[in-house]
A and B are shown apart, each in its own frame.
Chain A
C-alpha cells in the first residue's frame, strides 16, 4: 500500500524532500540559539562587555530570522507537496476507475468512490503533510537532546532512558487499545448515518404511521453506541497527557536528588544540571508528538488502504492485445453462453443461451424481472464477459475486438440511463464528438426527439441539469436513443428505453427505426407486448433460459409465458395515464 501511494508523489518529490530539509535547518538553528545565549551571558554580561552583548545579540537575531525563513519555506513546500500529492492520488484513482469494467464498478458503490476520492484523500494528505513536518522535527530534537544528555552526564542519562522506555510502552499500549476502539467508532458512524438516512428518506412513512417515538428510540440507541465507544477511546487517550507529566515529574525529582549529590561531589556543574531539566522537557515533548503522529498515521492508514485498493484494482476486462478494429456486419451469435455475476450469489443469470441473429433483424426480448434480459445484452458490447461459451458480433468473438470499435458498433441504450449537465448538443455529441448540427438533428428525428427540442426556447442549446431533471422521463429516453444513434452503430440495443414514452411515440420510434436503419440489427427489450409484437422474432426469457423464440403469432400459440403476459396486459392491466399524458404538457 505504501509503495503504491508513494509512487503518486511524482513530480512533487523535490518539494517533499526540501520540506524536511528546511525543517532540519530550522530545528538546528533553534537548538543553537541557547548556546549563543550562554555566550551572551558568559562573555557579555559576566564579562561586563557591552560590545559582546550586541555582537551575540545580533548573531541571535540573524539566526532567528534565518530560522523564520526556513520555517516559512518549509511550510510553503509542505503545502505544495501535500496538495500535489493529494491531486495525484485523486487523478490516479480517477484514471483507474475509467478503466474499470462494469463488474468492477458494481463492486464499489458510487458514494463509496466519492468518499475515497474526497474524505480519504484528505486524511492521507494531512497525514503526509504532518509526516514531512513533524516526523523530522520530533525525532531530531529528541535525538539531539539525548545526545546532549549523555555528553553532560552518562549516569543521569540512564534515568531518562528508563523513563522513556516506560513512557513509550504505556503510549504504545494505549494507542493500540485506542486504535482498536476507533475502528469500532468508524463502524458505529455508519450505523448512525444509516439510521438518519433511513429516517430522512422514509420520513413520509414515519409520519404516516406516527412512528416518531419509535424512530427516536432507534436513533438514540445508535447515538448512545457512538457515545459509549467514543468515551472509551477518549477515556483511554486521557491517560496519555497526565501519564507523561507523571514521568517528567518523576525524572525531575530523580535528577534533583541524584543531581544535587553529583554537584556537591563536584561531578557536575550547576549549569549542567539546569540544562538537564531543559532536555527532559524536550525529550518527552518529542515523544508525545511522535505518539500523536502515530495515532494520526494509524487513523489515516485505513484511508490509505482504501485509496490503494482503487489504484491497484486491475480491471476485469481490458483491451485485447492486437485487437481487431474491423466489424463488417451486425450479425450476432450467442454460442451456448452461460453467465454469472462475479461476487454475486454464484447463481447463473444466464444458462446455455444459443441464439443466432442475422444482420438487420429486429428482435424483441421479453421476460419477468430477473429473467436475464439485461444480462444478455450486456454481453454484446463486453460490458461483462460470458462465463462460458462465446459471443460473436459480425462473426468475430467480442473478446478479440478492440473495445472502442466494439462499443461504437454496438450501441446500448441502458435501462438506467442518464444525461450529463451541459447542453442538449453536448449530450448528443457523446455519441460522436465531431458530429455536425445537421447530423445531430437527423438522429433526433429518428428518435422522435426533434419536435420537443425545437419547442424549447433555446432548442439544441438548452442546458440539461445534473441527472437530466429538467426534461421529462420520456424526453430523456429519446435523447439517450438519439445520442446512441450518432455512433452510426451496426447493432442498437434498446433496454426498456421507451418505457416512459407514450404508445404513439413508441410506435413512431419503431417505425422510423425500420425506415432509417434497415441494415442495423435492432434488439428491443420491453415489458410492453405492444412494443415488440411487430419484431421479426421475439425471444422469451425465463430464469436465465430461452423459453421460446418466434414471431408474436407463433409464440401466442406455443409459449405459455408469452401468452399469459399478453392476456394480462390486454385485459386488465393497461397503463392508464401518466405516460400518454406526459408529453403533451
Chain B
C-alpha cells in the first residue's frame, strides 16, 4: 500500500514537471508501437498481395511493390524518429527529476533541526543522495515507457487475436495469466531472499568497517589468523544468502520463456485439432498468423515482469527520499531583524545599508506600541531565566538554568563530560529550543528574533573544527561572505593565524581539503577562530580544545582566542586554567544543574565543587 502511494506521488512529481514532455513521449510511444506492429504484419501483405500474384504473371511488374515498400520505409522511419525522440526525452525527464529530487532534498535538509542529524548516521544520509535517487533512473527512463509500450502492444495484439479466433485466444490468455502468476510468486520469494541478502551485506560491511578501522591493532597483536577465520564465517553466510536470492531470480526468465514455448505448442496443437475437425473459421494461414501474434502477446508480459523489480526498488528508494523531504523543518517564527545601524546626531539609532560595525535589532512596527519600527542597539547582553531543556521531552538534561551575562562579560562553563556545558551554548543560537523558561538577548526573547539574524550576531568556534574544501581565504570568508581579502587577512592577524598561513605553500591561497589532512589540529583551530573573527560578532561562543595538541600550538590558539574575546560577550566552555581564572563569572555545572557560580577567588574560598575540580582532590 505504502509502495503504491509513493509511486503515485513520484509519477505525479514527474508529470507536474514535465507535463508537455510526457505528452510528447506518450504520443511517440504510441506511434512507435504501431509502426513496430506494422512491420510484423507486413510479411503477410508481402506474400499474399505481391509475391503470390507476381508469381502468377509472366511479366512481373515491381513498380507497385516499390511504391508500397517506399511507403513502408517512410512509416518505419517515422517510427525510428519517434523511438529516438522518446528515448532521448526520457533521459531528460529521468535525470531532471533526479536532479530536482536531489536539490529539493538538499535544500530541505538545510532547514532541518540538528536533532535530525544527531539521529542519522552520516553515511546513511549520503546514501540517499546517490544510491536511493539512483533507483529512480531505471524506473523513470525505462519502466514507465516500457509499461506504456507494453499496454499498447498488448491491447492491439489481443484485439487482433480475438478477431482471428476466440477459442485460441482463450488458451493464450490462460497461459499469459499463468505466466503473470508464476512471475509474481517467484518475485515475492526472491524479494524475501534479496532482503536477507541485503542484511548479510550490511553484516559483512559492518565487520569489514570495524576490522579495517582497527587493522593496525590487529597487526600489533598478530591477530591476523583469527580475523581471517571470523571473516570466513560471515563471508560464507553472505555467499549462501546471495546464492538463494539469485537462484530464484535466475529462474524467472527461463520459466517465463518456456511457458511462452508451451503456450506456442498448445496453440499449435489446439489449432491443428480445430482445423482437422473442420472448424469453419480456422485455416492454416490464420493459425500461422495467430502463432506469430501469440509470441508478441507473451513478450510484453515478460517485459513487464522484468520491470517489476526496478519499480519496487524505485518505490523503496523514493520512499527514503520523500521521508527526508517530509521531515518537519526547523521552525522560525521570529520577526525581529538584525540591521546595520549608525548613531544619529540626536543620539537615536538609525538603520543604514553599509556595514558600520554597529548593529541594531529592528523590532517590526506590528509589535511595537507606537506603530513604528523600533531599533534596539545590539550590546550582547544574554540572560537565561529558569531554563529547562531536554533533547527528548521525557528526559530533561538541563534544570533551572539562570545566568545573566552583561555585555562584554566573559562567562566560563566548567564541569565534567555530560555536565551540560555544550548543551547550554547550543540553546543560545537556537540549535535546540528550550523546554521551559526564557532566554533573552538585549532584552528580546530569542524566539522572537529571526534565526538567521540571531546566528549572524553570534560568533562560534566549535571544538571539533570543521573546515571546507577550498582555499584558506575561502574558509575564513565563510564567516562573512562579503569580506574582502584584506578583511580576511586582518582577521587572521587578529587571532595570530597570519604567521602559519604565510608559511603554507601558497599562503592564503593554499587549498585545504575538508579533513584538513595538510594542517595540524592546532592550525585548523586557528582557522576556525579567524573564521569567527571575520564576522566581528558582538557575542562569542567558544569551545576550547581538550585534546592533546602540542603545547606551543595550543598557546597560539589560546592567544588568538583571547584577542578575539576582547570587547565581546563571551561564553566559553573552558578547559584551560588561564581562561577560567580570567573569567568574569565561572559557572560550575554538574548533571545539568548549576551547582556554583562566581569568580575564581570567590569559588576557591568556598572550597566547594570548583575547588575540588581545580585542585583535583576530593575533600574529606
Contact = CB atoms under 8 A, between A and B. Distances in A.
A54 B231 CA distance: 58
Contacts of B210: 420-421, 466-467
A84 B416 CA distance: 52
B126 A193 contact: yes
Interface string B191-228: 00000000001001110111111111111111111111
A527 B275 CA distance: 99
Contacts of B228: 94-95, 98
A577 interface: yes
Contacts of B69: 253, 256-257
Contacts of A487: 221
Contacts of A546: none
A212 B110 contact: yes
A568 B505 CA distance: 29
Contacts of A40: 268-269, 272
B577 A274 contact: no
Contacts of B36: 245
Nearest to B277: A50
Contacts of B288: 41
Interface in A194-209: 194, 196-209
B205 A114 contact: yes
Interface residues of A, number: 158
B251 interface: yes
Interface in B370-409: none
A434 interface: no
A76 interface: yes
A428 to B, nearest CB: 11
B80 A245 contact: yes
B65 to A, nearest CB: 6
B184 interface: no
A72 B251 contact: yes
Interface string B493-511: 0000000000000000000
B430 to A, nearest CB: 9
Contact of B551 (A45, A202, A246, A368): A368
B431 A504 contact: no
Nearest to B46: A256
B155 interface: no
Nearest to A317: B219
A568 B129 contact: no
B325 to A, nearest CB: 14
Contacts of A274: 43, 47
B79 A98 contact: no
B95 interface: yes
Contact of A383 (B204, B216, B224, B520): B216
Contacts of A385: none
A79 B243 contact: yes
A137 to B, nearest CB: 10
Interface string B65-105: 11001001100110111011001101110111011001100
Nearest to B455: A210
Contacts of A74: 250, 254
Given A44-B272, A277-B43, A238 B84 contact: yes
Given A45-B284, A64-B258, A193-B130, A568 B616 contact: no
B485 interface: no
B576 interface: yes
B95 A209 contact: no
A407 B95 contact: no
Contacts of A86: 239, 242
Nearest to B225: A98
Contact of A30 (B91, B212, B261, B553): B261
B166 interface: no
A204 B451 CA distance: 14
Contacts of A245: 36, 76, 79-80, 83
A252 interface: yes
A156 to B, nearest CB: 14
Interface stretch (B19-27, B48-56, B305-313, B346-354): B48-56
Contacts of A568: 551-552, 555
Contacts of A420: 210-211, 214, 217
B594 interface: no
A224 B95 CA distance: 10
Contacts of B448: none
Given A223-B106, A249-B76, A196 B126 contact: yes
Contact of A572 (B414, B431, B578): B578
B114 A207 contact: yes
Contacts of A260: 46, 50-51, 54, 62, 65
Contact of A564 (B284, B552, B578): B552
Interface stretch (A229-237, A439-447, A451-459): A229-237
Interface string A408-421: 10011010111011
Contact of B265 (A45, A64, A242, A407): A64
B415 interface: yes
Interface in B498-548: 514, 520-522, 531, 535, 546-548
A138 B280 CA distance: 42
B459 to A, nearest CB: 8
B167 interface: no
Of B213, B291, B555, most buried by chain A (CB within 10 Å of CB) is B213
A40 B288 CA distance: 12
B261 A118 contact: no
Interface string A70-98: 11101110111011101100110011011
Interface residues of B, number: 159
A502 interface: yes
A189 B576 contact: no
A291 interface: no
Contact of A198 (B51, B94, B103, B469): B469
A322 interface: no
Given A71-B254, A227-B95, A87 B239 contact: yes
Given A252-B42, A369-B522, A403 B222 contact: yes
A48 interface: yes
A53 B239 contact: no
B279 interface: no
Given A83-B242, A216-B107, A91 B232 contact: yes
Given A71-B255, A223-B102, A87 B250 contact: no
Contacts of B98: 227, 230
Contacts of A574: 576-577
A483 B220 CA distance: 11
A210 B55 CA distance: 84
Given A57-B268, A235-B88, A527 B550 contact: yes
A94 B231 contact: yes
B254 A227 contact: no
B253 interface: yes
A234 B90 CA distance: 10
A26 interface: yes
B110 A200 contact: no
Contacts of A125: 242
A60 B215 contact: no
A6 interface: no
A574 B581 CA distance: 12
B580 interface: yes
A118 B205 contact: yes
A252 B39 contact: yes
Nearest to A61: B265
A50 B273 contact: yes
A173 interface: no
A161 interface: no
A408 to B, nearest CB: 6
A417 B221 CA distance: 12
Given A193-B126, A208-B462, A256-B69, 16 more contacts: A64-B265, A78-B250, A79-B247, A110-B215, A114-B208, A198-B468, A200-B122, A235-B91, A241-B83, A249-B77, A253-B76, A368-B552, A370-B520, A431-B221, A572-B576, A581-B415
11 contacts: A40-B268, A50-B276, A67-B258, A118-B204, A196-B106, A227-B96, A264-B55, A369-B521, A407-B222, A430-B223, A573-B577
